[in-house]
Amino acid sequence: EVQLVESGGGLVQPGGSLRLSCAASGFTFSSYAMHWVRQAPGKGLEYVSAISSNGGSTYYANSVKGRFTISRDNSKNTLYLQMGSLRAEDMAVYYCARDQGVVPAAIDYWGQGTLVTVSS
Amino acid sequence: NFMLTQPHSVSESPGKTVTISCTRSSGSIASNYVQWYQQRPGSSPTTVIYEDNQRPSGVPDRFSGSIDSSSNSASLTISGLKTEDEADYYCQSYDSSIVVFGGGTKLTVL
């Protein structure tokens, strides 16, 4: 069974940093691209970032480019999102998601999400 | 990049059929596969359609997907509506590995 478990969310002040993690199990992690998708309270899904299966290619939404960094450790079956210069508009539930293939295109499994609150 | 536009909300009665549209702003809808995700209140999204019209195992055949090149849009059709189908539905596609989501459609089954 595919499982994606996010962690690392919490309360952070504007301008602060946070690192999210996503522990994957139930599949060969190194064979799939992975995504971070967020959802602000009461809003729709917003693509944040994605990474190819071998970590060689990364992709970012314009809203987070230069502030967030996606990475993965295939030996630990873990996906990361390093978030910096956080703003109020970054407050959201952050979902880790698995792609169907080796490069980002289509999501097939989602985690349960972790809440990031940006407030002073 | 392109945008995907969905109606904000739709409503229909139990047992009826509803169709949710997803229109691509530029580029051909047929160029890249379209996925559909269901998100019930308080839950994570789940995939109900992938690659335009494929259903993951466990998704009932009441759910179907299609694309229409003439209107440059994709559609999710749910037949035999049940109250449990009440949820938000999002379409998604991509171009050069950049993922794009539609704004979501709230389906009310009343």
Is B97 an interface residue toward A (CB < 8 Å)? yes
Quote the CA–CA distance of A72 and B53 in Å, as a whole number. Answer: 31
Residues A43-52 have a mean pLDDT of 97
**DSSP category for residue B55:** P
Confidence check: pLDDT of A47 > 90: yes
Is B104 touching A (CB cutoff 8 A)?
yes
- Each residue's pLDDT tens digit, A56-104: 999 999 999 999 999 999 999 999 999 999 999 999 999 999 999 998 8
Do A88 and A14 meet the contact criterion of CB atoms below 8 Å apart?
yes
Predicted local distance difference test score (pLDDT) of residue A68: 98
pLDDT score at B1: 85
Low-confidence ranges of chain B (pLDDT < 50): none
For position B96, what pLDDT does the model report?
Answer: 87
How high is the pLDDT of residue B102?
A: 98
| Record: contact A50-B46, CB cut-off 8 A | no
Q: What is the pLDDT of residue B4?
A: 98
pLDDT value at residue B97: 85
User: HSE (CB half, 13 Å, CA atoms) of B68?
Assistant: 10
Q: Would you give the DSSP letter of residue B72?
A: T
What pLDDT band is residue A10 in, cutting at 50, 70 and 90?
very high
> Which of 42-61 (A) contact B at CB < 8 A?
44-47, 50, 52, 57, 59
Return mean pLDDT, chain A: 97
- The Cα–Cα gap between B89 and B37 comes to 6
pLDDT of residue B10: 98
Whole-number Å distance between alpha carbons of A36 and B107: 25
